[in-house]
Every structure is written in C-alpha cells, then in structure tokens.
Amino acid sequence: MDALAGLLDGPRARGAFLLRMVMAPPWSVRVDDRAPLCVMCVSRGEAWIARDGGGAPVRLRPGDLAIARGPAPYTVADASGTAPRALIGPGGTCHTLYGEPLEETMRLGVRTWGNAPDGRDSVLVGTYRMESEVSRRLLDALPPLLHLPADAWTCPLTPVLEEEISRDEPGQSVVLDRVLDLLLIAAVRTWFARPEAAAPAWYRAMGDPVVGTALRLLQDEPAHPWTVASLAAKAGVSRAALARRFTELVGEPPMTYLTGWRLTLAADLLRETDQTVERIARQVGYGGAFAFSAAFKRVRGVSPQEYRGAVLPERHGSSHRGRTPSTLSP
C-alpha cells in the first residue's frame, strides 16, 4: 500500500451531499453545516470562498477546485464583498438568514439548486457528511482551504461529475459517491506533489528507503505481532538505526505509530460495523477484548463500547437528516 492509498483507505462517501449550484449575481451562501470536508469545482463563471477566522478570500475560475475542511463555517459568493443571502445548515438544510426555508424555492431540478436556471456561475459541490476515523488522518494533513487552479492540475473527473450529477437513475448515488472519492484522491495526490503543500511527516517519510518500508509493513499488516526488531530485519537495518530514523522522520517511535494506526482502524470498525469488540480487537492486532479496551481507553479517553454508543445516533441518522438540495427531484 502506498502512502496515499494508506491515507485514503477505509470508509468512503456514502450518500454524500452532491449538487450543482447555479447562480446569477449577486449571490452569497454561508455554509455552516459542520461537515468535515467539502469539494467544490467551478464549471462556469466564478466563485469566491472565504473562511471564518482568517485567510484571504480565494477566487475560483472554471476548472479550479477547492477543498474546504470543516467544521469551521465559510462563505461562497459571486464576489468577495457580497453579503450572505442564504444559510446552509447541518444535513444540507437551506434557509434565508431569517430562517425561511429555501429548498423548494431554489430547486432547479435533480441535484440542481440556485437562483436562476441560466445563471452565470455554476459550482459542483460534493460534501462528505460523516467523519470516519481513517479520514481524520486526511483532514489533519490538509490546510483549512486547499485551492488547485485549473492550470496546476489535469483531471478528467470534473466533467464526469458534472454529467452524472443531474442524472436520476438506479444506483446513481453510488456512482456519484465513487466519482467524488476519485476526484478527492486526484486532488490530494496533486496537492501533495506541490512544493507549498505541508504533507504530514509520515507521508514524507514514505519516500525514505528504510522508514518507508517499515511504514508500509505497519499499514498493510497492522494485526501482525510487530516488534522494532522484526521491522528492522525487514528493512535491512539494525534495531537502533530503525528506531532512531523512524522517530526522526515520523515524529514518534514505530510502536507508538502502530498503536495509533491500530486504534484508528478499530474506531472505524466500531463506527461502521456491528462486529463485536472481541472480533475487532483481534482484527487489528490485539490478543483479546480486554487488552484492546485498555489501550483504546488510554489513548482515546473512552471505552470501545462508550465510543460506539456515542457514534451510533450519527451512523443511523445519517440517511435521513432532512430534505436537502442533493436529494430533490424534479
């Protein structure tokens, strides 16, 4: 498994919030949906994105892509100075600033929403509404607002998303989820290749012939009973040399990294499956539920059962969080 695959491995989009926003200036939408990640592509016209709490507004032109990290709110508008006229809340609910609903009045068709059918500006929006534990590694690796200009990357997926987003066919939501995933992967891969990208230490360490080998082994086989000695033997160096270089490049010792990775995978399984704690423990490399529960509580502050109980409402309620523009039909 390479570094990017390890970064993005795990639960992907399921029933993501996807729509085409078509607007005629002046327009401005404040997004406060608490979602962990949103991908935006301008297919026509332009848009400006401004995050709360600092940072200059970013201008998006046709072919540009932006990724906004949540849960901090941000504003998307036709110009940097246009005041918000609509508010997107949790679950994709849309209201005026006075609380009046806008879902019906701004519906323009299947997954199409805006103030004018032939508006100058068209923005494709794909929002991940649930944060999985594996994707948190991705969120931590990205800046609050990532911008890829059209001349900085080549991706054939944006036209595919634009073509598919307004279709209403069996299984269409699954198709859109997968296209969104691929678009995200392509964007992140391009971003990490840019000199200004602050890729995480473990990602950069993947390029090291010694530490990269150890990282791939830990990521690919987390349930294996690894020791520093066995990792060092696989990497072809001494135990001391691996421990020193791993800590220097990754920022933590090999076994600490392994524990974090195992618990990250376990948290995902607790959130996304109904497997027993015992089965999850053995799947990620623990001898049984007791040792796993002790490690989980020591690192995360709650037991596996408490963690699962806290995320169950989000898991079971994610498919019916109210009417959203992405689910509207003609």
- Which residue would you say has higher pLDDT here, 150 or 318? 150
Q: What average pLDDT does this structure show over 308-318? A: 64
The β-bridge partners of 20 are: 112, 124
The region of weakest confidence among 53-57, 142-146, 310-314, 322-326 is 322-326
Q: Which of 163, 223, 326, 220 is nearest to 1 (CA)?
A: 220
Question: Quick one: DSSP state of residue 101?
Answer: B
Report the distance separating Cα 330 and Cα 265, nearest Å. 40
Would the CA dihedral through 187, 328, 314, 276 be positive or negative? negative
pLDDT at 314: 54
CA distances, 153 to each of 92, 184, 193, 195, 200 (Å): 29, 13, 10, 14, 21
Q: How confident is the model at residue 70 (pLDDT cuts 50, 70, 90)?
A: confident
pLDDT exceeds 90 at position 177 = no
pLDDT at 321: 38
- Which residue would you say has higher pLDDT here, 319 or 72? 72
Q: What average pLDDT does this structure show over 85-96? A: 89
pLDDT exceeds 70 at position 323 = no
Contacts 24+ apart (CB under 8 A), 225-229: 225/285, 226/254, 226/255, 226/258, 227/255, 228/253, 228/254, 228/255
Mean pLDDT of the chain: 86
Report the distance separating Cα 66 and Cα 58, nearest Å. 9
- Which residue would you say has higher pLDDT here, 316 or 251? 251
